[in-house]
Structure 1
Amino acid sequence: MQSPHQILGPSRRSLLLGAGATALTAAAATAASTTTAAASTANTGATTSAADAASTAAAGAGAAPAAVPSPDTLPLTGGPDFPIGLFWPPHPYASTAQRFAEIKTAGFDFVISGNYAGDGNIFQYQLGLARDAGLKMLISDDIQIRNMSRWFSISDTTTDFLSVTPAEASALYIRARDAYGPYSSLAGFNFYDEPGAGWFATLAKALSISRELAPQLLPYINLLPSDDPAYYRNFVDVVQPSLISFDRYPLLSGGREDENYFHNWAIVRDAALHGDIPAWVYIQTLAYNNHREPTAAELLWQINISLAYGAKGIQYFTYWTPEAARGEGFGPALITVDGQRTPRYAAAKKINTTWLHQVGRELKPLVSESVVHANETPLPNGTVAFTPTAFVTDVSRSPVVLGTFRSRDAAVKDRWVLVANRSHSTLAPTVVSVNEQTVGSVEIFQPAKQTYAARRVGPIPLELAPGAATLIKLGAK
């Protein structure tokens, strides 16, 4: 289904559809069946209990939508740790304890299933591997979950073409929950990748069912890249998601950048603030049609720019390399098609374990207050130029991106400023001048020690490596 919005960059849908293509025939048969068939035992062998049947009946009777849990209470979005995930994990034949330990060693926290894992037995096997490795998983279940959220709409009108009733959708969800829920590694379900706006009403119903039947699980949806603010704002208002995630890959062939990358980030940031939910993003790890292979500095640059724009979760596209038969000209990702580590595996491991987890833990509980570009002419589309604030009076020398954050506690007047190098190829000598009338202390975050180092109040000289960033805490007088 083509989105009504302009699609920019790759369609990650092509990969997921490939993973689910073999399940589509079975999916159609399931949805076309009667309510009795929808309530029967799934291929996983799970059964519906009497209590579950009561929940199903309530959903079919038009029960009120389930309350939206706070992101603070859900896996990955809750807790102090900054979530780092990956898409396109090892395929089923490469899913071993050693491979999942390799993922954990590289500093990843969660895995989104895919790469030809579409069978309930495989999901359960991978969930066991993830549990033993200390990882979480978001399961892309093509039989149960996708029947209620992607392949078919949810409708009370039984004559609607290609639809399931709320009761049938609840029965589908129950089977997935009961099959995978016993695994502590289950973080939630991947409901839809890159939906068009026409699917938002069904996704709202699907998420309501998920929250009613398993409020402890994260219902995950990733959105298309788009330059239309209404697409993201409507998603937040209609679907009421627990987070907003999108993918847009800015590193183009010939050394170019996607000229609207910052604009897309700005409107996603606005939608996340509007809904008071976390914003997640995918970063590009490989070359493919009209996109180049990232350097280590370009991996870091994508992450730090995203952090400056308020990202509360980072996902890598991809981890394992999609094979040539998938099309789109994919080059090597972190792991090659035949299972060899590339230099980007080592780069991601260093970024995740020595910087992103540490600085992410500082930024995760904070609220993005502003994001500006300093010393950049002309300004990229959708960006805002630096102007003096009550805390920062000047930023001189190199082009940088400043993300300013505040505490959720209004009584805390301090500010945190992430200064990110605008360039992924050159050093950025920078001086940040603070307002000494309002700033009582200056501290620089030290990721190796996970502490702040105090320095005198005054101009702050920085030497930012390509793609790098520094986090500054400004204590209010």
Structure 2
Amino acid sequence: MGKRKNNNPTPTVSGEFPIGIFVEPSPSATSDATYAEIRAMNANFIVAQQLTTPATTDWALEKAEANQLKILVTDTGMRWIQSEWISQNDDDGEGVYLRKDHSIGQTFTTPGVDDLSLAILSFKKNGAWPEGIAATLSVYDSPSKEKHIISSTLIGPIESHYPEFRLNDMPVKPDTPHYPVAANTTYYMELTTDSQAELGPFSTSAADRYAGGQAYVNGSPASYDLYFQITLKTPHGGSISAFSPTGRPSDAYIETLVDHYKDHAAVLGYNLIDEPFGELYPMLKETSDRIKALDPGRMIYTNHYALNEEGTHYYSLEGTPPMGYEDYYKNWIATNPDMISYDYYPFKKEGFDEKVHYQTLAFFREQSLLNGLDFWAYIQSVAYDYFHILEPNEPQMRFQIYSTLAYGAKGYVYWTYCTPTGADPELAQIHDAIILTDGSKNETYEYAKTINGEILNIGSVLLSLTSLAVYHTGVVPPFTEPLPEDFFWQLAGGESAVPLIISYFENETGRKFIMVVNRDLEQAQSLTFSLSAELQAVQEVCKSTGNEIATTFHAAEGTLSVSLAPGDGRLYALGES
């Protein structure tokens, strides 16, 4: 395989090797403490899954920035159902307080879209929201309040600075309430409380900034606007996301979404969709292009299925002819994504599924090199009974990470970080993730923390490498290549049966590197390698410091002794730096 074309720059997280989590703490569990815990595990970004509204995302972004984390943001209007988004984002005013004798309100104007329904409304507020203090949001046809549409009440304590009134749950269910509003029409929303104590201040603009309405205090117009975000759901979109083969989020929605997030330092990019069907690609492409036009410096992320012949029904929508994986993925690459990503969880009750693991790694390595695209992979960190997926032990977790890096991956994401909870019976089959249902750490937290720390230390070197070859020793797994007899790095003596991955890389200057991974997940290995007489120096890239350190390499004899824990990997730099 030839050298990788440099079509797209390698995504990093503030210069670090990308290490992410999927299934982040729930909005109610979002705090400095829970986000500090993510960072302490040596992860550096979050693929948003539960953060799907402006209020929950904005609060999470504050916690992420405070803890040196970044977020691939998503939203109800991309993840669940096509929506419209009305906002007033200026918060440079003095703010206004809410109390029993001091209501605050705001008129807003709906976009020119039919069949809209009020779904989620939120504000920005500083100061405490004490326990037992209630505030009610009511929506009317006008400040005269002739027609009442809906009311919703929040009761403290509320820690978030972004109080959110949810009128609907997402995804939309058959019995989801419907609170219709007309297109191009002005409505009035008002906050009231029975509390004599002041609640706030609620953020405002310094002047009248919102052309679609104005703020009110005790029913009288004010010279500023409230800070607010309103999600209006539409009847459009697919059954599992806002995308369908013929529809996508509107340009107006995309512009509002990007305008809201593009200047925040903790935004890594936009999480478009997870595991899409191939028929959605044209709509995903149009959406990506619109986002890129508005925020060209941020990445757009879409994760895909692995290469699995038993999963062909996932590649295209039901009722259509089966789509082969190569078509499924090459059609995606034709959309010119920023990078490529997949998920597969190979440790099953019946054993290690090495076929899909190596077949997918080989495919993504090939596509990465051919198309100049970095690839990321998901790492198994949970048990899922429905698919016979086991909670991994430390060697299994270590091996999945190091074998993925041996094929040239430039980032990885844990699935899952938090154990999913909820009333859905299927969620009960997903258990023992890194963070358990009671919020405590599973033992896998420490496994991940240790391994992630190693990868962060050698990460700058890993990010600089281009894969030249990947070979296997011992019994060669499916879809892999045996180590050639004339390769310059060989197992010495009678050790050729030891199961290893030996990967060959080079960096931008042409310097060569070798990664050795122990495929034995039960036994440590103490090995001797016989190296080419042309090699004059072999340094290890230290997993504790990231620096090059001395090895047992004996130039005169051409040998190197190596010790590998089960599933472990080591990275070696060849020649002088």
Give 2:275's aligned residue: 194
User: Is the aligned partner of 1:403 residue 2:503?
Assistant: yes
Give 2:329's aligned residue: 232
SS for the counterpart of 1:172 is helix
Distance 1:336 1:453 in 2: 38
State the shift of 1:182 in Å.
Answer: 3.1
Distance 1:180 1:80 in 2: 21
Tell me which amino acid in the other structure corresponds to 1:269.
R
SS for the counterpart of 1:432 is strand
Give 2:109's aligned residue: none
Distance 1:74 1:468 in 2: 25
1:97/1:129 contact within 8 Å kept: yes
Give 1:301's aligned residue: 399
1:292 aligned to 390, 396, 408, which one? Answer: 390
Give 1:265's aligned residue: 361
Going from structure 1 to structure 2, the CA distance change for 1:390 and 1:422 (only over 3 Å counts) comes to: closer
Give 1:39's aligned residue: none
Name which of structure 1's ranges 309-318 and 380-389 shifts more when overlaid on structure 2: 380-389
Give 1:54's aligned residue: none
Distance 2:435 2:327 in 1: 37
Q: Deviations over 1:341-373 (max 9, x none)?
A: 1101111111112x1112222111110111111
State the shift of 1:74 in Å.
Answer: 5.1
Tell me which amino acid in the other structure corresponds to 1:211.
K
Distance 2:250 2:487 in 1: 52
Give 1:456's aligned residue: 554
2:411 aligned to 313, 324, 335, which one? Answer: 313
1:102 aligned to 33, 37, 50, which one? Answer: 37
Give 1:358's aligned residue: 457
Give 2:347's aligned residue: 251
1:349 aligned to 436, 449, 467, which one? Answer: 449
User: Unaligned regions of 5+ residues in structure 2, if any?
Assistant: 1-5, 84-170, 172-235, 239-243, 309-324
Give 1:118's aligned residue: 52
2:457/2:545 contact within 8 Å kept: no
State the shift of 1:258 in Å.
Answer: 4.5
User: Is the aligned partner of 1:182 residue 2:263?
Assistant: yes
1:140 aligned to 52, 57, 74, which one? Answer: 74
Tell me which amino acid in the other structure corresponds to 2:45.
F
SS for the counterpart of 2:382 is coil
Query: TM-score normalized by structure 2?
Result: 0.63
Distance 2:11 2:564 in 1: 35
Name which of structure 1's ranges 467-476 and 389-398 shifts more when overlaid on structure 2: 389-398
Give 2:540's aligned residue: 444
Tell me which amino acid in the other structure corresponds to 1:142.
T
Distance 1:257 1:191 in 2: 29
1:222 aligned to 303, 315, 335, which one? Answer: 303
SS for the counterpart of 1:473 is strand
SS for the counterpart of 2:508 is coil
Distance 1:81 1:269 in 2: 21
2:24 aligned to 79, 83, 89, which one? Answer: 89
SS for the counterpart of 1:138 is strand
1:163 aligned to 224, 247, 262, which one? Answer: 247
Distance 1:244 1:148 in 2: 25
Query: TM-score normalized by structure 1?
Result: 0.76
Give 2:520's aligned residue: 423
SS for the counterpart of 1:216 is coil
Going from structure 1 to structure 2, the CA distance change for 1:80 and 1:431 (only over 3 Å counts) comes to: farther
User: Is the aligned partner of 1:383 residue 2:383?
Assistant: no
State the shift of 1:205 in Å.
Answer: 2.0
Going from structure 1 to structure 2, the CA distance change for 1:201 and 1:161 (only over 3 Å counts) comes to: closer
Distance 1:388 1:105 in 2: 44
Distance 2:434 2:269 in 1: 25
Going from structure 1 to structure 2, the CA distance change for 1:148 and 1:208 (only over 3 Å counts) comes to: farther
Of structures 1 and 2, the larger Rg is shown by 2
State the shift of 1:249 in Å.
Answer: 0.4
Count of residue pairs brought into register by the alignment? 389
State the shift of 1:388 in Å.
Answer: 3.9
Tell me which amino acid in the other structure corresponds to 1:244.
I
1:260/1:380 contact within 8 Å kept: no
Across the aligned residues of Structure 1 and Structure 2, the Cα RMSD in angstroms comes to 2.5
1:75/1:187 contact within 8 Å kept: no
1:91/1:114 contact within 8 Å kept: no
Going from structure 1 to structure 2, the CA distance change for 1:70 and 1:121 (only over 3 Å counts) comes to: farther
Tell me which amino acid in the other structure corresponds to 2:419.
T
Going from structure 1 to structure 2, the CA distance change for 1:100 and 1:70 (only over 3 Å counts) comes to: farther
State the shift of 1:267 in Å.
Answer: 0.5
Tell me which amino acid in the other structure corresponds to 1:267.
F
Give 1:12's aligned residue: none
User: Is the aligned partner of 1:72 residue 2:9?
Assistant: yes
